[in-house]
Structure 1
Amino acid sequence: MGDKVCVGAIAGAYGVRGEVRLKSFTADPEAIGDYGPLTTEDGAHSYSIKVTGQIKNGLAARLGGISNKEQADKLRGTKLFAPRDRLPALPDDEFYHADLIGLDVFDTGGTLLGKVRAIHDHGAGDLLEIFGKGWKDTVLLPFTREAVPTVDLTAGRIIADPPDGLIPEPKQ
């Protein structure tokens, strides 16, 4: 668990006066400005955020120090990070995606299956993207209590009970 968590990304300029199209990764998308100022991943730049409206696939926002379209365009693809201590504490059964990525995944018998590469949400619930040694492709495991009964952040592991046939057989 790092000291910074990615809470948004800049998708490009919005208009000609320096506003940006912003993808928010917070539970309440418009609350992204409440965690500011936000920094780039390397910490080299810091921006205050003022959400100015909702647009298709995101938000329109003003960033401190950005005043024209050219400056906004240069920020396309920039991820924005907030210090972990500014984020709200979560209930026991909720997790920040950043805390799950990289965790080892074991089956209920204690066999290492792989590591969490990413978390995806396509609208029907979160999916853990897992990659294991000797696998040709990644596997998407539903992040439900049935398929993932235990997440132990302290030990850095997840215990999974994947549906039959989901996990590839190890190559001999």
Structure 2
Amino acid sequence: MSDSEMVCVGAVSGAFGVHGEVRLKSFTADPGAIADYAPLSTEDGARQYDIDLQREIKGGFAARLSGVLTKEDADALKGTRLYAPRDRLPSLPDDEFYHADLIGLTVLDTGGAELGRVKAVHNHGAADLLEIQVPGQSRTVLLPFTQAAVPTVDLTAGRIVADPPEGLLD
């Protein structure tokens, strides 16, 4: 299965307790729905896990993953990103996008000049931010992923039209 057919839906942020539970961070719009897309696989597809959400905790869920029986097993998975096949995920409304679809898109300003490429999508609680790699530079800028700052996302053409806030790219 190609990368574009797999979507990252969560990550293990470490062990929870001493009985093999993990701290699971969900990247799905409805965080509890992550278990509905199981079995989830590692990025390389080498391992698959069924998910049993135990309870909600700060920053995600305490969860059991199939085959993870000890705290050591859970510790070893820290940082593991979990993926689901795109066809298991719900279709999105026209104004919503999977983060995986945005990464790598060319970002143009409203005049057609290239501003860079989407390197990552971040969410620190308030709203999504697009991390844009500025061409020919090592720096990146964070662009609010709002209707005002990003009026057009054209997945077919592989581009985003942005109207960045004044001074963002200076």
How far apart, in 2, do the equivalents of 1:120 and 1:78 lie?
A: 17
How far apart, in 2, do the equivalents of 1:44 and 1:126 lie?
A: 30
Aligned partner of 2:109 in structure 1 is: 107
How far apart, in 2, do the equivalents of 1:107 and 1:56 lie?
A: 38
Residue deviations 1:113-145 (CA, integer Å, cap 9, x gap): 100111112222111111111335211111111
Aligned partner of 1:162 in structure 2 is: 164
Aligned partner of 2:66 in structure 1 is: 64
- 3-state SS of paired residue (1:133): coil
How far apart, in 2, do the equivalents of 1:72 and 1:139 lie?
A: 35
Residue deviations 1:7-40 (CA, integer Å, cap 9, x gap): 1111111112111111111111111110000000
Query: Who wins on radius of gyration, i.e. which is larger?
Result: 1
Aligned partner of 2:9 in structure 1 is: 7
Matched ranges for 1:14-53 at <5 A: 14-53=16-55
How far apart, in 2, do the equivalents of 1:89 and 1:11 lie?
A: 27
- 3-state SS of paired residue (2:54): strand
Matched ranges for 1:76-155 at <5 A: 76-155=78-157
TM superposition score normalised by structure 2: 0.94
- 3-state SS of paired residue (2:29): coil
- 3-state SS of paired residue (1:33): helix
How far apart, in 1, do the equivalents of 2:136 and 2:166 lie?
A: 19
Q: After TM superposition, where is structure 1 displaced by more than 6 Å over at least 4 residues in a row?
A: none
1:70: how far off? 1.4
Percent identity between the aligned chains? 68
Residue deviations 1:28-55 (CA, integer Å, cap 9, x gap): 1111110000000000000000000011
Residue deviations 1:65-120 (CA, integer Å, cap 9, x gap): 11111111111111100000001000001001111011000011111110011111
TM superposition score normalised by structure 1: 0.93
Aligned partner of 2:56 in structure 1 is: 54
In structure 2, give the amino acid aligned to 1:156: G
For structure 1, list consecutive stretches of 5 or more residues without a partner in the other structure.
none
In structure 1, give the amino acid aligned to 2:76: K
- 3-state SS of paired residue (2:4): coil
How far apart, in 2, do the equivalents of 1:84 and 1:138 lie?
A: 29
In structure 2, give the amino acid aligned to 1:38: L
